[in-house]
Amino acid sequence: MSTLTPASEMILRHRDEFAQRSILFAGDLQDNLPAQFKAAKVQVHTSQYHHWQALKNTLEEKVQFGLLASRNMIAECNTLLYYWPKSKQEAEFQLSNLLSLLAIGSDIFIIGENRSGVRSVEKMLTPMTTLRKTDRARRCGLYYGRLDRQVEFDHNSWWHNYQVGDTIIKTLPGVFSRDGLDAGSQLLLSTFRPNLEGNVLDIASGSGVLAAILAKHSPKIKLTLSDVSAAAIEASRATLIINNIEAKVIASNLYSDIDGRFDLIISNPPFHEGLQTSLHTTERLIHGAKAHLNIGGKLRIVANAFLPYPSLLDATFGSHETLAQNGRFKVYQATLSRQRNQ
């Protein structure tokens, strides 16, 4: 998070305008601009654990991680600087939460890449404010308005349920495959036999769908679910509770907060950071697995068929196998036969 994004570079063009403001940064922060920003007050709310990790040493208690922003954090802020995410539903959810806490008359700045759909914010916030575009550069738009009417917000009304067989899945805006089981996860699940045993780690657990369905067919497994997204963490917990499944759910940037070793690590890993394609997360997932698998333990992932993961698996584990494939996805498995060199 060191290199500034085009959105943050645009904000810096207006640094003088923000110098005397008490600012709340929120949304899809992907760099450390808040840590170096000069203003009367700087607070940050992020729903991404790895963003919180990158900012906490500098901002300490001024940066908050969680699904919902707290009233105490926002109380002294008179300006919202919101980074638009790639999911419109997630933006609507987060902005509804934030605008329900900000005081009437607060200034609102929305910044985002044009291809992310940020233009839709003008219509989205019409009941609360009149937004106008104040700047454009590097395919980004900056919108400004003043909060005229506070928003009623009940986060319980944003939950969505769907069912896979006899398993109920609970999801929130911004969680992967919010509206149903995605084809990649379906292919991955097809490779498991019932009555598995041992310790299983589900990385990038999302709604908890993989872990919940595995637990239904293999009740003896001991599950740990992790994700960087606060919405995913809450969704995973809710999915487990409604299906009466016991498991540990933690916020972790891949293995950053993971202790111990596992017999199986599973994942349908993301290959985007914001709107950008990035293999970095999966590279770290694969390389780090060997430090968290028991001897004989397995890493099993599903990925788009065109992504170059076989070579990464071979470099880390010495070999891999393809368990299933279709026109779009492949399921790969690698086994830790011995402790390879770090």
pLDDT at 232: 97
Q: Where in the chain is the domain with CATH 3.40.50.150?
A: 6-155, 159-336
- Go through 186-213 and write b for each residue having 16 or more CB atoms within 10 A of its CB, e for each that does not: bbbbeebeeebeebbbbbbbbbbbbbbb
Say what the pLDDT of residue 272 is: 44
Name the CATH architecture for the domain at 159-336: 3-Layer(aba) Sandwich (3.40)
* pLDDT above 70 (res 1): no
Helical axes 209-217 vs 230-242, angle rounded to 10°:
30
Mean pLDDT across 263-290: 81
Residue-wise pLDDT for 213-232, tens only, equals 999 999 999 999 999 999 99
What mean pLDDT do residues 264-293 have?
82
* CATH number of this structure's domain 6-155: 3.40.50.150
Q: What is the pLDDT of residues 147-185, one digit of tens each?
A: 999 889 999 999 999 999 999 999 999 998 888 899 999
Least confident stretch, 135-144, 154-163, 165-174, 326-335: 135-144
What is the average pLDDT across 259-274? 85
Identify the band that residue 97 occupies on the pLDDT scale cut at 50, 70 and 90. very high
pLDDT of 275: 45
Tokens 């657990």 label which residue? 205
Edge-to-edge strands of the sheet including 132-137? 63-65, 41-46, 22-27, 79-83, 107-113, 140-146, 132-137
∠ Cα 29 31 35 (to 5°)? 95
What integer pLDDT is reported at residue 18 of this predicted model?
94
Q: Is the distance from CB of 7 to CB of 143 less than 8 angstroms?
A: no
DSSP 176: T
The lowest-confidence range among 122-131, 257-266, 290-299 is 122-131
pLDDT, residue 327, reads: 87
For residue 91, what pLDDT is reported?
96
